[in-house]
Structure 1
Amino acid sequence: MNMEKVYCYICSKVVELMSSAVRDLSESEFIGLRDSQNNPLPSPPKKEKDEYSFQFSDDPLEPVRIEDALGNAQAEWTLRNILEAGSLLGKSCQGTLKLAGHSSDLQEQAYRFGRHIALAWQACLERQPFISGSAGPFSLVSAPVLFTLEYNHGLYAEIEKGYHNINDVDFDEIRRIVLEGPGLELTKKLQSEHSDMSFEFLRKLPDTEARNAILNILAAME
């Protein structure tokens, strides 16, 4: 009976954890500005570039202070993508280890691992619209755009054209500006940072096929 109570308690904690991931996903829809068609738009860049100091709490149940991140390229991008995907993956990893009876320390590391691998993957995807020969629209809150916007505030005028209709945005012009600026290189650096943090956790795990498969995925993204 005692074991049954313990199991029920653990399950309730996992349900609470995953419920907070759903909360995060819902909150991601209310970050910053959106156009009339509900597409996300970046926040106006801060007049002076400040250092990236926004940090997520290691407590997965603690809500995020959204306003602290807006206007800072890396902070805003991290906020959006952790709430949209990183939180769910991180808490899924944490919940799995909790159900398996692993230590609290390993559970917390798994949570951070899930967040980092989600962010590395997202940064990798967001570089693709800027490879040679690419055409068509892309996310205006992607890392390459946000990083470029931080260094070239004039780009925001082009982005604002899409407030009423996304078709009014000249994506080819924005792509050209991004390619001429530091956005892509900074996005690649961001991806590498999150990949390295994911590698760090994986190296602590036993040598298994599952571990090696994830290592191969991370290596393929570089």
Structure 2
Amino acid sequence: MFSRFTRLRCYSSSSFKTAIDTAEKLVSPSSTKFNDPFSIVSHEMSNLAKSIANLIGSGHPTLNRVSSYYFEAEGKNVRPLIVLLLSKALSKIPIEQRNRISIDKYDVTEQSHIKGTPTNISSIAGKSVDDSLSPLAILHGINPKVILDPLSKPMDKLPEFDILNGILPKQRRLAEIVEMIHTASLLHDDVIDLSDSRRGRPSGNIAFTNKMAVLAGDFLLGRASVAISRLRNPEVIELLSTTIANLVEGEFMQLKNTVINEVDNEINNDGESKRIPDPTGKVPTKQHEYSVNLVNHDTNVEAAFEYYLHKTYLKTASLMSKSCRAAAVLSGAQDDIIEQSYQFGRNLGLCFQIVDDMLDYTSSDTQFGKPSQADLKLGLATAPILFAWEKEPKLGELIARKFNQPGDVEIARKSVEKYNGLEKTREMATDYCLKALNNLRFLPESDARSALELLTNSILTRTK
């Protein structure tokens, strides 16, 4: 079913690592010629970690340490990079074609410099994005006149709008929020998956404790939610809040793993089988749409792929797609551009995670920055093994029991190799890559669009 995809010829010079490294190292976009497209947002990227640290704002030293831990290490930062590049690409759309919403007067300073920008715009609630909606004494639980270091400090102010850059301050804040949400999910995932390394160093649960890692992730989500609310755009608030719920939904789908796993009232995780209590009837509960009676092998495989892609969307592509949509909404772009921005993020996110699942089979721990070959050990059925199962029905038994019997993991790996599971997975990723590139064609030609195209291509060639 997924065996025929058009292959995309990728430029060897556009490796994922090179693209990301260049974006982080170049720090003076205004004085740099367009030799590398990522230089156009390098200033924002180089200040990302510092800006996020100012948003975290915990006065408790240990909480501040754990919450900031993952931002210290070298990460891919691909999500904020996408938001910033897309925001700059959207700025090339003429202002008169970006009138779906009024651009908040606190987004842009000295608006007279921008031809066609309305001058009679008022902010939602009549306040700046830097101001709290509630009194500080209520938010902090202290008398703000007393000199104390509150556990939730006021957030750092947004930078002024850079006319040469074109990225709105709210879009820069959006990029920071997206990375905070993503990092919170990493802290939680490493506890759930019993990981011992992340970004080439001990994971948060190992460096601190499981409890501290979970609490730090919760705190990051809380601070991200405050920043989301201060964007003062109901549609963007809805989009970003939904991504947090999606991450949890995807994690629950991963607990079950596939549609052919245990019966719906049992879960099996970390080698422990547990029966879920029967509902009392007081609260209506709905059976999951994937809980169906599967009647033959082809139906099983098709349903498993649908389940896998849905889970992949919730865990990875949701944050990318909805943050891209949010960037377009904040730009004032029309509905068709907003939809193409969303589809770009969706297709790119699916491509990104499918490549990640493929790299789990091929990369070493050092190269990958986290334990490789972990998916099978965790009992996860990703695209490579699903493609093998399509050709070898007996693998269904191993998938159903999460490869928990001696020899299961090795049998699965050999089957992936025998039935070209990795090659077919790459073809699937390539298909989503092509779709993402097609979505970008709805944007005006610009350096920023070229950078997004380069980034999209480089995802297929990345090695970590």
- State TM-score, norm by structure 2: 0.38
Contact 2:388 2:420 (8 Å CA) reproduced? yes
Q: Which among 251, 259, 269 is matched to residue 36 of structure 1?
A: 269
Q: 2: CA distance between counterparts of 1:144 and 1:77?
A: 11
5 Å matches for 1:1-222? 3-5=122-124, 11-31=233-253, 32-33=256-257, 35-37=268-270, 47-50=296-299, 72-131=303-362, 136-139=373-376, 140-162=380-402, 168=406, 170-220=408-458, 221=460
> In percent, how many aligned pairs have the same letter?
25
Report Cα offsets for 1:47-103 as digits up to 9, x if no partner: 2314xxxxxxxxxxxxxxxxxx99623312210110001111101000111011011
Contact kept? 2:388, 2:421, Cα under 8 Å: yes
> How big is the shift at 1:5?
4.4
Distance 1:45 1:182 in 2: 25
Q: Contact 1:123–1:143 (CA<8 Å) still a contact in 2?
A: yes
Correspondence for 2:97: none
Using the TM superposition, give the Cα deviation of residue 218 of structure 1 relative to its aligned residue in structure 2, in angstroms. 2.5
User: 1:92, 1:125 → 2: CA distance?
Assistant: 20
Name 2:48's counterpart in structure 1.
none
Query: Structure 1 residue 119: deviation in Å?
Result: 0.8
Asked if the contact 2:321/2:343 (under 8 Å) is kept, the reply is: yes
Q: Are 1:202 and 1:211, in contact at CA under 8 Å, matched by a contact in 2?
A: yes
Deviation for aligned residue 1:155? 1.2
**Residue identity matched to 2:123:** E
How many angstroms does 1:149 deviate by? 2.0
Report the Cα distance in structure 2 between the residues aligned to 1:104 and 1:158, rounded to whole angstroms. 46
The Cα RMSD (Å) is 3.5
Any stretches of 5+ residues in structure 1 without a counterpart? 51-68
Q: Kindly provide the amino acid, as one letter, of the partner of residue 20 in structure 1.
A: T
Per-residue deviation, 1:10: 6.7
State the distance in 2 between where 1:204 and 1:103 align: 12
In the aligned structure 1, how far is the partner of 2:416 from the partner of 2:392? 9
- The Cα of 1:178 is off from its aligned counterpart by 0.9
The residue matched to 1:178 in structure 2 has which SS?
A: helix
Q: Measured at CA, do residues 11 and 49 of structure 1 come closer, stay the same or move farther in structure 2, by a change above 3 Å? A: same
**Unaligned 5+ runs, structure 2:** 1-119, 127-229, 258-266, 273-290, 366-371
Between Structure 1 and Structure 2, whose CA radius of gyration is higher? 2
TM-score under structure 1 length normalisation: 0.74
Amino acid corresponding to residue 111 of structure 1 in structure 2: Y
SS of 1:213's partner is: helix
In 1, the alpha carbon distance for the partners of 2:243 and 2:301 equals 21
- Counterpart of 1:206, as a letter, is P
